[in-house]
Amino acid sequence: EIVLTQSPGTLSLSPGERATLSCRASQSISSTYLVWYQQRPGQAPKLLIYGASSRATGIPDRFSGSGSGTDFTLTISRLEPEDFAVYYCQQGKTFGQGTKVEIK
């Protein structure tokens, strides 16, 4: 069974800064199946990125995904106030443990 490990656990940044979130798989996976979600407090998760690098409908272009094999990255180019949230990567039935992006 594939394990997804996200790092860091918490990222403390200021609005306008760049955020780089990592998702590492325990074995090589197809980028087709790597997905990123955003979850704001008290809300359901929201699809951000699918296929490792394709933005979901309505997702601003400050969000980008990249990677292949076992290493994947979600980048938020300039943090907006609404971007402070928890981010999860997913491959099939497995989710990473999440990275919290908090205001510094």
| 33 binds another protein per the rule CB under 8 A | yes
Please say which residue, 1 or 61, places its beta carbon nearer to another protein: 1
| 90 binds another protein per the rule CB under 8 A | yes
40-73 per-residue burial string, b: 16 or more CB within 10 A, e: under 16: eeeeebeebbbebbebeeebeeebbbebeeeebb
What mask of x and - would describe binding to another protein in positions 36 to 75, judged by CB under 8 A?
Answer: -x-x---xxxxx--x-----x-------------------
Residues that bind another protein (CB under 8 A): 32-33, 35, 37, 39, 43-47, 50, 56, 88, 90, 92-98
